[in-house]
Amino acid sequence: MAPSYQLADLWETLVDAGPDAECLVADPLRHTRGSLDVAANRIAHALAERGIVAGDHVGIYARNRAEYVEALLGCWKICARPININWRYVADELRYVIADANIVAMIIERAYVPLLDELAAEFPGLRNVLVLEDGAPIEPTTMATELYADVVANASPERGFTSARTDDDVYMLYTGGTTGMPKGVMWRHHDFFYACVMGGNPIEPIKAPHEMANNAKPIFPLDALVLGPLMHGGGQWLSLIAMYSGNRAIVSTDSSFSAERILDLIHRERPSTIGLIGDAMGRPIAEAALANPGRWDLSSLVSLGNGGAMLTSTIKEQLREAFPNAMTTDSFGASETGAAGREYADGKERAGPAFTVDDNSAVLHPETLVALVPGSPEQGMLARKGHIPLGYWNDPEKTAKTFKVDADGVRWVIPGDFAQIDEEGRIILLGRGSGCINSGGEKIFPEEVEGAIRSHPSVFDSVVVGVPDARFGQKVVALVALRDGVDPISLDDIQVHCRTKIAGYKVPRELLLGVAPRTNVGKPDYVNASKIALERLAGGS
């Protein structure tokens, strides 16, 4: 039977064409394609033997490790759907995702078992719990558990699966963004492969599933150092792009961020690209490299890709100095759009970053859904067509708000980003609508203000939110973390600096020093930042 675009079919086609090539490095484990396929076969059989069938949802509740990738592939082999679970969840968030996704099995690290056990009585349908050892102490539980290592050791290493794989099998990714409860984004495997895995080749995507065999000997070097968590789309997608293009995914398994350990990993494994998440990751890596000239051989890197949170111009310059042989690019995308565009800096001043996009991206009028023409002064909404998701799991209302059909019958995903389109057809991102601050009738996008603040030499990071204001409706509040060893700065210092970068109405009216909260994937944590701002301003601090 000819292979489909189902992710397990594509993977097995690649494995059969070149099983001996190394494809995954996740300390302390290393996998060739063949050994990873065997490990995935084992967990697939183990799940099937425990009653997991096509369409079932299997939670993966773990930090970065090789077994995470084994479990993804294993689920896809039996047409089950792996569900990513954020390991920072508290009980209410975990309860919500288990219930919303109807999770029937869980692959979980030992450290998170106690929290799951608190909720076990509420979910009798969660019938299988496989535990990954992580060094945490073993504690008694009310639920039955099995050791992942024992289960896979006793399962068949062969294929022989009976589930009928199709292009229409569903890849699921739960995304929380920065506001609201997590949502399960549903992709057909076919669409996901082209939108998020870049069709197996970022330069020239394959045109048919059997062409995956050609990637057994990669056409271009794309050994990727994955720093983001695998429970987030960015970490998963970069890993899959590397492996499905015939290269290696080098996954950082550190439990805490260390720029020096990352540079050690680059020196040892020699990746060609690295996936960054904004200034919070880019700045310490660049500064560590610049502070220790000659300590590491970093010459293998040819590109530094950034996503999830924009790099400021100051940090881009630092990265270029630290990695002179590598091109630094910002990319944008979302769980609902896949990889949608890249920014190639040209030195021009704009309201926001300008991204080169393909014909499937546009800026639409928010009411008519008509595409704005290049050079239009109007603001619209970023939208994408073509290979886009089916919608949100278990949420027809949000699906209807985000996925729309225009007058010509074209279906678009509109995730909520305000944008403009310049004369050259590039998309200028202004900011996410849900975080937009309305002050005196003016729209202020936090991302633009944050970029201006972070260009101040004393500032390490900043998150900007709006709080109620009796006169203007909302006012801009900047939460700022300073660089180590610098003197405190005042609101006046920040305002004077920002007025050289942005219009006066966008300049912060309040400054709170000491914290700039971010989520575990490096994005600004606007929910937590708003709470902090309201509490501290109410207390007069």
List the CATH number of the domain containing 378: 2.30.38.10
Q: How far apart are CA 530 and CA 536, in angstroms?
A: 10
Round to whole Å and give the CA distance between 541 and 536.
5
60 and 159, same domain (yes or no): yes
Contact 411, 403 (CB under 8 A): yes
pLDDT value of position 141:
95
Does residue 312 fall inside a structural domain? no
Token code pair at residue 369: 């859904």
Q: Which residues have CB under 8 Å from 49's CB, separation 6+? A: 155
DSSP state, 111? G
Structure-derived torsion over alpha carbons of residues 68, 72, 77, 80, reported in degrees to the nearest 10: 120
Pull the structure tokens for residue 229.
Answer: 């968590």
In this structure, are 98 and 172 located in the same domain?
yes
Please report whether residue 296 resides in a domain. no
CATH number for the domain spanning 498: value is 3.30.300.30
Place of tokens 């073993």: 138
Rg (CA), the chain: 23
Per-residue pLDDT, 442: 75
- Specify if 423 maps to a domain: yes
Residues 386, 449 within the same domain? no
Q: Which two tokens stand for residue 337?
A: 């759009």
Domain's final residue, options 146, 174, 194: 194
**pTM, to two decimals:** 0.85
Separation of alpha carbons 444 and 118, rounded Å? 42
Question: Does residue 394 lie in a domain region?
Answer: yes
Q: What is the pLDDT of residue 187?
A: 98
Domain that holds residue 107: 7-11+25-194
Which residues on adjacent β-strands are paired with residue 306? 276, 330
Q: Are 341 and 417 in contact (CB under 8 A)?
A: no
CB 221 within 8 A of CB 301: no
Packed helices 259-269 and 279-291: angle between N→C axes, nearest 10 degrees: 70
* Assigned domain for 268 exists: no
Q: Same domain, yes or no, for 453 and 408?
A: no
CA distance 410 to 428: 23
CATH number for the domain spanning 132: value is 3.40.50.980
End-of-domain residue from the set 413, 433, 453: 433
Angstrom distance (rounded) from CA 481 to CA 284? 14
Q: Of 166, 194, 222, which one is at a domain's C-terminal end?
A: 194
379, 477: one domain = no
Helices 279-291 & 313-322 angle (0-180, nearest 10)? 40
**Which secondary structure element, helix H or strand E, spans residue 519, and what is its range?**
none
Q: 385 and 481 in one domain?
A: no
Q: How far is CA 76 from the centre of its chain?
A: 20
Can you give the pLDDT at residue 11?
98
Closest CA to 209 of 194, 223, 222: 194
Return the pLDDT at 225: 98
Q: Are residues 408 and 534 in the same domain?
A: no
Counted domains in the chain: 3
Going by the DSSP 8-state scheme, the letter that residue 110 receives in this structure is G
Sequential DSSP letters for 421-485:
E-TTS-EEEEEEGGG-EEETTEEE-HHHHHHHHHTSTTEEEEEEEEEEETTTEEEEEEEEEEPTT
Do residues 106 and 151 both lie within one domain? yes
- The answer as to whether 206 is a domain residue is no
Helix (H) / strand (E) containing 89: none
Within a domain: residue 483?
A: yes
User: Cα angle at 231 between 225 and 232, to 5 degrees?
Assistant: 70
HSE (CB half, 13 Å, CA atoms) of 486? 15
Strand-pair category, 403-405 with 411-413: antiparallel
What pLDDT shows up at residue 348? 55
* Dist. CA 157–CA 178, nearest whole Å: 41
Co-location of 133 and 40 in the same domain: yes
Written as one letter, the residue type at 192 is F
Q: Residue 205 and residue 531: Cα distance in Å, rounded?
A: 45
Asked whether residue 136 is domain-assigned, the answer is yes
DSSP-derived 3-state class of residue 47: helix
> How many Å apart are CA 191 and CA 171, to the nearest integer?
10
Beta strands in 44-161 (DSSP E): 57-61, 81-84, 103-109, 128-132, 146-147
Strand 128-132 versus strand 103-109 pairing type: parallel
Looking at the structure, do residues 101 and 175 belong to the same domain, yes or no? yes
Task: From 53, 33, 85, 66, select the one nearest 169 (Cα to Cα).
Answer: 53
Q: Tens digits of per-residue pLDDT, 48-68? A: 999 999 999 999 999 999 999
pLDDT value of position 351: 52
DSSP E strands, 9-119: 22-26, 29-32, 57-61, 81-84, 103-109
How far is Cα 540 from Cα 403, in angstroms, rounded to an integer?
43
Per this entry, what is the length of the chain? Answer: 541
Q: Are 278 and 310 in contact (CB under 8 A)?
A: yes
| Tens of each residue's pLDDT in the chain, 541 residues | 678 999 999 999 999 999 999 999 999 999 999 999 999 999 999 999 999 999 999 999 999 999 999 999 999 999 999 999 989 888 888 999 999 999 999 999 999 999 999 999 999 999 999 999 999 999 999 999 999 999 999 999 999 999 999 999 999 999 864 445 789 999 999 999 999 999 999 889 999 999 999 999 998 889 999 999 999 999 999 999 999 999 999 999 998 889 999 999 999 999 999 999 888 789 899 999 999 999 999 999 999 998 877 787 788 899 999 999 999 888 888 899 998 888 755 555 555 567 888 899 999 999 999 999 999 999 899 999 999 999 999 999 999 999 999 999 999 999 988 889 999 899 988 777 667 887 876 778 788 899 889 999 999 999 999 998 877 788 999 999 999 999 999 999 999 999 988 888 899 999 999 999 987 667 788 888 999 999 999 876 5
Does residue 441 sit in the same domain as residue 384? no
404 with 453, same domain?
no
